Amino acid sequence: MTESVGTAESTSEPTLSVYDAIRRRRDVRAEFTGKPIAEDVLRRILGAGHCAPSVGNTQPWDFIVVRDTGTLADFADHVAGARSRFAESLPEDQKKTFDPIKIEGIRESGMGVVVTYDRSRGGEHILGRHTIDDTGLFSAVLAIQNLWLAAAAENVGVGWVSFYDESYLAELLGIPDPVRPIAWLCVGNVTEFQQVPDLERFGWRGRRPLADAIHLEKF
């Protein structure tokens, strides 16, 4: 990242507990203000992503900061197509539930951070990936979770968009083979964080009780 990435005034690092950040974090779609986030805030958020653990210490992620309005518009149009196709695939009752649900804030956030995964980083012999190839991808996803929690601590919203064809996004952003775009994250200032996830509020799907997720000794 060589050029300036924000115009708003800088702020000092927040001192929220990790539990508070976990509780505040939401997938944000409708609450973006469009006001740019400060450069040092963006740096801290990306820095948190870059602190993630990774298999063989490969650090297989990169972060592409996208603010060009033409690129945001192109991607938003592409995502709208993917959303329509998903809606058409649904049975009538699920389609009705899905209709009012917003699945992205690409234009409104004013910024996308595209996280990529480079499987070739670190060469052929990746310590720890020889048995489970997915651990490379897991590592890049951990960078996203770090970034997401740091953003919540900074009062910055993040919305993960996955309604896209990988090859389209790779071409749009000039991502070379074998690097894969694994997430488009809408990142920006927000009016508020919802208390309840959108998919729960709109009746799509709620959170499972913790007790159902905990197993003792065997699955």
Ligand X SMILES: Cc1cc2nc3c(=O)[nH]c(=O)nc-3n(C[C@H](O)[C@H](O)[C@H](O)COP(=O)(O)O)c2cc1C
Residues that bind ligand X (CB under 6 A): 26-27, 29, 103-104, 160-163, 197, 199
b (16+ CB within 10 A) / e for 64-78: bebbeeeebeebbeb
Q: Which is nearer to ligand X, 5 or 190 (CB)?
A: 190
DSSP secondary structure letters along 153-187:
HTTEEEEEE--S-HHHHHHHTTPPTT-EEEEEEEE
Q: Which of 76, 71, 48, 72 is nearest to 61 (CA)?
A: 48
CB of 150 to ligand X, least distance (A): 15
- When the beta carbons of 105 and 110 are compared against ligand X, the nearer one is 105
- Kindly report whether the peptide bond that precedes residue 178 is cis, defined as omega within 30 degrees of 0: yes
| CB of 164 vs ligand X, minimal distance in Å | 8
CB of 158 to ligand X, least distance (A): 9
- Answer whether 61's CB lies under 8 Å from 140's CB: yes
- Give the residue closest to ligand X by C-beta: 197
Q: Smallest distance from the beta carbon of 213 to ligand X, in angstroms?
A: 14
Comparing CB distances to ligand X, the nearer of 34 and 206 is 206
Shortest separation between residue 162's beta carbon and ligand X, angstroms: 4
Nearer to ligand X, 5 or 161 (CB): 161
Residues 6+ apart with CB under 8 A from 5: 39, 42, 43, 65, 67
Question: Among residues 50 and 102, whose Cβ is nearest to ligand X?
Answer: 102
